[in-house]
Amino acid sequence: MSNAFAIAQNLERRERARVSSKAIARQSLAAKLRIGVGTFENLVRGRVKRIDAAIRDRLQALLVAELQAEIVRLTHELEVLRRSGTRLDNEQICEVEAHISKVRALLNGGAK
């Protein structure tokens, strides 16, 4: 259950960075998870005794989707920097590519 609690907090933090308020972030996430806002609030606060397997699965799927979208955004930003002529040293580029590859591998079940 602590895993679901951590995932819910992570999702809330990510959504909060995109929208203007915590309430809007919670409403958006609750809608994406197909649960009530109060249920999501209780989940984020750790005020639930048990979590339905379907909710846990939707939490994990939403986090994976968020991470995959972030990989796409970061890959695009790296490509834009390369094309714009911005000078990144080779070590920085290799480090960014290594991190992106590592995250992809983790999301694909550890396969490289």
Q: Work out the average pLDDT over 96-109.
A: 80
Residue 39 resides in a domain = yes
Q: pTM to 2 decimals?
A: 0.78
Residue 112: inside a domain, yes or no?
A: no
For residue range 34-57, what is the model confidence (pLDDT) as tens digits? Answer: 999 999 999 999 898 889 999 999
Q: Cα separation of 15 and 93, whole Å? A: 28
Range of the domain at 97: 2-107
Residue 72 in domain: yes
Per the structure, the count of domains in the chain is 1
Angle at 15 between CA 9 and CA 19, to 5 degrees: 140
